[in-house]
Chains A and B, each alone.
Chain A
């Protein structure tokens, strides 16, 4: 094939691909793998919510369900998600984006802990981070969200979750 034809064919293909890229990302919130607008870190200064999990000995009635400002005052010991083979973003998004905690939703959460909730008593904290009003420092708060054990799932008053069954 002559060189000019090659360039013409590839050029047309590239234009079509770019149109496909633009239309797919525009209609799917910027993401249609492998096409993306790469919006990572695009919204600066936005407060975030993450999750950490602690292994505790206390029963749910004796837990101090308080918002904590220092990681040194958290209950129990950390549960590292790598030990259960779960990605922390999956867990965080699952918890923050589930609004109706049915039995199926709780089972899904137990699945993400991959048996850790069967063998331990877990206290799940939602961790919120935001810039203070003067934008000079970062405020981090640890809000107790859910106590999870082999036979119990109890939400804190902060969770404002609707929980229908275990």
Chain B
């Protein structure tokens, strides 16, 4: 059976709760974009030089945004434009907000370190942007955006595993590699917070090479299986395994698993709409048709 009908399900009738849940996830994406626009905008004001350009910063001099509160002006612009998209006032608003948010991102992360915590938020905005441009009906827009989000979340984890395979080779899961990262992140934590000590679990990993290898190998296999997120029957299981992966990363390397990366995966991966009560109508009606 072709993958597209499995993911996008245009031929199936969804109940109204599903659309309300998707609208809620859309709101979460919009609010997070607004939050990070201002968070990055404020941070950018203290920067002086571009250390390593990313994305559009390779072609534009983003250092002009370091001064004169231009980054805050950009944040204000992003906020206004994305709300136009959320309330369906302008069809291409989400796409414009995404481009401006990319500009904000490459300005914020111009100091050498690439941050991945907001990639799923950006992909979420991208998915909704495409859906709004492709279709007029909210029914079709929601199914398209949701399907794209499911596709790219699953793809991301599989891509991450392939990056590891091609970046290092089959010996990637060797235990000492995890030890080296644990020491690196310990220094990171110490630098950020002024103190650090390994937990009992971390000390156990550091003294048992085979266990460290087992952790890395399990993590890699779960990541590689990310494409199983695409299928309705395996999505809840994959969500649970991926959540377990993030929890394992947190306890072994102190990397926060409740960041936006894992949160988006969980919001999309479980059938949360089944917890909602039915509204006045059981199926979706065309309430928010975009008017040209």
Task: Give A contacts to B, CB under 8 Å.
Answer: 1, 3, 6-7, 9-11, 13-14, 17, 28, 30-45, 48, 50-53, 71, 78-83, 85-94, 96-98, 104-105, 107-108, 111-112, 114, 127, 129-131, 135-138, 140
B183 interface neighbour in A53, A89, A129, Cβ under 8 Å:
A129
With an 8 A cutoff between CB atoms, is B180 at the interface? yes
CA distance A35 to B48 in the complex (A): 26
A31 interface neighbour in B11, B112, B114, B134, Cβ under 8 Å:
B114
Number of A-B residue pairs at CB separation under 8 A: 196
A28 interface neighbour in B55, B130, B160, B177, Cβ under 8 Å:
B55
B116 interface neighbour in A40, A88, A130, Cβ under 8 Å:
A40
A94 interface neighbour in B112, B130, B183, B184, Cβ under 8 Å:
B112
The stretch of B71-79, B88-96, B168-176 in contact with A is: B168-176
5 inter-chain pairs at a CB distance below 8 angstroms, sorted by A residue, are A7-B8, A34-B123, A34-B126, A94-B112, A129-B180
Chain A residues within 8 Å of B52, by CB:
93, 97
The stretch of B144-152, B237-245, B277-285 in contact with A is: B144-152
CA distance A48 to B115 in the complex (A): 17
The A interface, classified by DSSP as helix, strand, loop or mixed, is mixed
Assuming A10-B147, A80-B192, is B48 touching A107 (CB within 8 A)?
yes
Q: Please give me the 6 A-B residue pairs with the lowest Cβ-Cβ distance, nearest first.
A: A93-B112, A34-B122, A80-B194, A42-B167, A108-B48, A89-B113
CA distance A97 to B172 in the complex (A): 26
Q: Known pairs A31-B114, A81-B191, A131-B180; list 16 more (Cβ under 8 Å).
A: A10-B4, A30-B163, A38-B116, A38-B157, A38-B163, A42-B167, A44-B177, A50-B184, A52-B190, A80-B193, A82-B194, A83-B194, A108-B47, A130-B180, A131-B176, A140-B187
Interface residues on B, range: 35 or more
A57–chain B nearest beta-carbon distance, Å: 17
With an 8 A cutoff between CB atoms, is B195 at the interface? yes
A90 interface neighbour in B10, B113, B144, B159, Cβ under 8 Å:
B113
Contact B151 A14 (CB under 8 A): yes
Contact A45 B8 (CB under 8 A): no
B4–chain A nearest beta-carbon distance, Å: 5
Interface string of B10-30 (1 = CB under 8 A from A): 110000000000000000000
Chain B residues within 8 Å of A14, by CB:
4, 148, 151
Chain B residues within 8 Å of A3, by CB:
10-11
Contact A97 B112 (CB under 8 A): yes
Contact A127 B187 (CB under 8 A): yes
Contact B55 A42 (CB under 8 A): no
With an 8 A cutoff between CB atoms, is B65 at the interface? no
Q: Which residue of B lies closest to A98 (CB)?
A: B51
B118–chain A nearest beta-carbon distance, Å: 7
Assuming A36-B116, A50-B188, A93-B51, is B134 touching A13 (CB within 8 A)?
yes
Chain A residues within 8 Å of B193, by CB:
80, 82
With an 8 A cutoff between CB atoms, is B199 at the interface? no
